[in-house]
């Protein structure tokens, strides 16, 4: 008798919630020190997730170390896996190079109530690669396959996906994607650059189209990733490449409303500042005891731009030490701007 989550050679991928998504779907990229629980809650609220025309269709966590989750210091890392009821479907992204730790972590993620598990096999950070994880997997397809199968075993029925690049130093889509496809993941997210290219060159979406062709008949869905600005751009890239879905990363900075398909215009400056202040207070409430306040400040460059005085305001915000100071600085700027407009 087949155990739960076990696959035979004739089986296709375990799809779970992925099978129910209307194509093309648009998903939130996992970004370290960005897509934390505070920012995801802001996105869920201001993109009207769960309502008609709202999104994103799938949430992703920041990536979390499987080795760390299997260590005595796991409690702090578990905070990175906290999520609210409004964020379903949500996928937990993990990284690591030890199959047993990845298997144990997958079992933990299922226990925590996630809808899916994603394996990071594309991060170019040197500290991650030194652990044999992230983009380092591209150089060792056999270990990568072992890792994926270990996660599938631990996931016991949850859909497993992989986020990766098109090659390491050079493009090797057929060989590398072929190795992943052999393991029958539900989804492969293709960042359309090599590891060597980082984000220094334009993403090559023609490679996403080729990835879709390579995956034809396998049951595995292909998500394209790279240089996506907004939903209109995502739709255009999906149409051109045939991708089942599109992942949006940098485009969501400072725009938690981005996935709201019904929104026809951005918020006013005053509304944007209210959202920024709300985001800052939520970050401080949920993560202030374990994360440096400086991490929050990377969002201010995106929230504060495109108007007179934006550069000077950002300088002041970068000097703020807490959410109350951010709120005071923002409100003082709005008051002064209003006075100037009436003179």
CATH number at residue 210: 3.20.20.70
Residue 306 backbone phi and psi in degrees, to 5:
85, 20
Residues 277, 161 within the same domain:
no
> How does 64-87 read in b/e, with b if 16+ C-beta sit within 10 Å?
bbbbbbbeeeeeebeebbebeeeb
Summarize pLDDT for 237-252 with one digit per residue, the tens.
Answer: 999 999 999 999 989 9
Let me know the angle formed at the C-alpha of 287 by 282 and 292, rounded to the nearest 5 degrees: 110
Asked if residue 209 lies in contact with residue 244, where contact means CB atoms within 8 angstroms, the answer is no
pTM of the model: 0.93
Asked if residue 277 lies in contact with residue 300, where contact means CB atoms within 8 angstroms, the answer is no
4 pLDDT above the threshold of 80: no
Q: Give the domain-ending residue among 252, 286, 319.
A: 252
- Gap between the Cα atoms of 207 and 197, Å rounded: 14
Query: DSSP letters of 241-272?
Result: H--SEEEE-GGGTT-TTTT-TT--SPPPHHHH
pLDDT at 291: 93
Residues 87, 174 within the same domain:
yes
Q: Which of 120, 137, 28 is nearest to 83 (CA)?
A: 28
Residues spanned by the domain of 319: 269-342
**What percent of the chain stands above pLDDT 70?**
95
342 pLDDT above the threshold of 60: no
Residues 274, 247 within the same domain:
no
Residues 111, 225 within the same domain:
yes
Residue 263 domain-assigned? no
pLDDT at 124: 95
* Residue whose tokens read 């003082």: 332
Stretch (H or E) spanning 98 = none
Summarize pLDDT for 112-139 with one digit per residue, the tens.
Answer: 999 999 999 999 999 999 999 999 999 9
- Gap between the Cα atoms of 155 and 286, Å rounded: 28
Residue 166 domain-assigned? yes
107 pLDDT above the threshold of 60: yes
Residue 6 domain-assigned? no
Average pLDDT over residues 194-222: 96
Residues 30, 146 within the same domain:
yes
Residues 216, 165 within the same domain:
yes
147 burial via Cβ count (<10 Å: 0-12, 13-18, 19+): buried
The count of domains in the chain is 2
pLDDT at 75: 87
Annotated active-site residue 37? The verdict is no
Greatest CA separation found in the chain? 80
**Selected residue with higher pLDDT from 338 and 314:** 314
Helix (H, G, I), strand (E, B) or coil at 253: coil
Residue 225 backbone phi and psi in degrees, to 5:
-145, 140
Residue 45 backbone phi and psi in degrees, to 5:
-70, -50
341 pLDDT above the threshold of 90: no
Grade residue 338 by pLDDT with cuts at 50, 70 and 90: low
> Active site residue: 123, 228, 247, 320, which one?
123
Residues 169, 228 within the same domain:
yes
**Residue 153: how many CB atoms within 10 A of its CB?**
18
Average pLDDT over residues 208-235: 97
Average pLDDT over residues 276-288: 97
pLDDT at 35: 94
Residues 192, 140 within the same domain:
yes
Judge if the upstream peptide bond of residue 191 is cis by omega within 30 degrees of 0. Answer: no
Residue 2 domain-assigned? no
155 pLDDT above the threshold of 50: yes
Average pLDDT over residues 134-151: 98
Grade residue 262 by pLDDT with cuts at 50, 70 and 90: very high
Residues 283, 241 within the same domain:
no
- Gap between the Cα atoms of 19 and 238, Å rounded: 18
Q: Give the domain-ending residue among 226, 252, 278.
A: 252
Residue 42 backbone phi and psi in degrees, to 5:
-65, -40
284 pLDDT above the threshold of 70: yes
Asked if residue 49 lies in contact with residue 56, where contact means CB atoms within 8 angstroms, the answer is yes
Helix (H, G, I), strand (E, B) or coil at 248: strand
Residue 222 domain-assigned? yes
Residues 291, 229 within the same domain:
no
To the nearest 10 degrees (0 to 180), the angle between helices 269-287 and 37-46 is 140
Residue 10 domain-assigned? no
Q: Which of 227, 275, 276, 272 is nearest to 251 (CA)?
A: 227
- Gap between the Cα atoms of 189 and 185, Å rounded: 11
Q: Give the domain-ending residue among 217, 252, 287.
A: 252
Residues 226, 275 within the same domain:
no
Residue 5 domain-assigned? no
**Residue 298: how many CB atoms within 10 A of its CB?**
13
Residues 45, 117 within the same domain:
yes
Residue 201 domain-assigned? yes
Query: pLDDT averaged over the chain?
Result: 93
Alpha-carbon 67 to chain mean position: 20
């Amino acid at each position: 008798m087949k155990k739960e989550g076990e696959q035979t050679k004739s089986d296709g991928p375990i799809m779970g919630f992925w099978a129910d998504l209307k194509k093309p779907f648009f998903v939130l990229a996992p970004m370290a020190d960005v897509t934390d629980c505070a920012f995801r809650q802001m996105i869920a609220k201001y993109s009207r997730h769960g309502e008609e025309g709202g999104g994103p269709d799938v949430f992703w966590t920041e990536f979390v170390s499987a080795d760390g989750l299997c260590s005595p210091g796991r409690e702090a890392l578990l905070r990175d896996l906290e999520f609210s009821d409004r964020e379903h479907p949500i996928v937990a992204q993990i990284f690591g190079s030890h199959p047993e730790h990845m298997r144990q972590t997958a079992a933990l993620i299922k226990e925590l109530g996630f809808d899916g598990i994603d394996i990071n096999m594309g991060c170019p950070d040197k500290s991650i690669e030194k652990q044999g994880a992230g983009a380092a997997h591209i150089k060792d397809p056999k270990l990568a396959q072992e890792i994926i199968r270990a996660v599938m075993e631990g996931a016991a029925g949850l859909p497993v996906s992989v986020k990766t690049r098109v090659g390491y130093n050079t493009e090797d889509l057929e060989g590398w994607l072929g190795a992943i496809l052999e393991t029958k993941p539900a989804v492969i997210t293709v960042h359309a650059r090599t590891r060597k290219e980082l984000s220094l060159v334009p993403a090559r979406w023609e490679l996403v189209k080729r990835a879709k062709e390579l995956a034809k008949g396998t049951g595995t869905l292909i998500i394209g990733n790279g240089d996506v600005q907004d939903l209109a751009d995502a739709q255009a890239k999906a149409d051109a490449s045939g991708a089942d879905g599109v992942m949006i990363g940098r485009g969501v900075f400072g725009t938690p409303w981005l996935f709201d398909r019904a929104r026809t215009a951005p918020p006013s400056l005053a509304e944007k500042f209210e959202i920024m202040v709300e985001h800052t207070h939520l970050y401080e409430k949920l993560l202030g005891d374990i994360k440096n306040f400086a991490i929050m400040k990377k969002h201010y460059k995106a929230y504060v731009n495109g108007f007179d005085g934006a550069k000077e305001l950002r300088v002041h915000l970068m000097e703020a030490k807490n959410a109350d100071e951010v709120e005071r600085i923002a409100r003082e700027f709005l008051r002064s701007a209003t006075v100037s407009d009436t003179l």
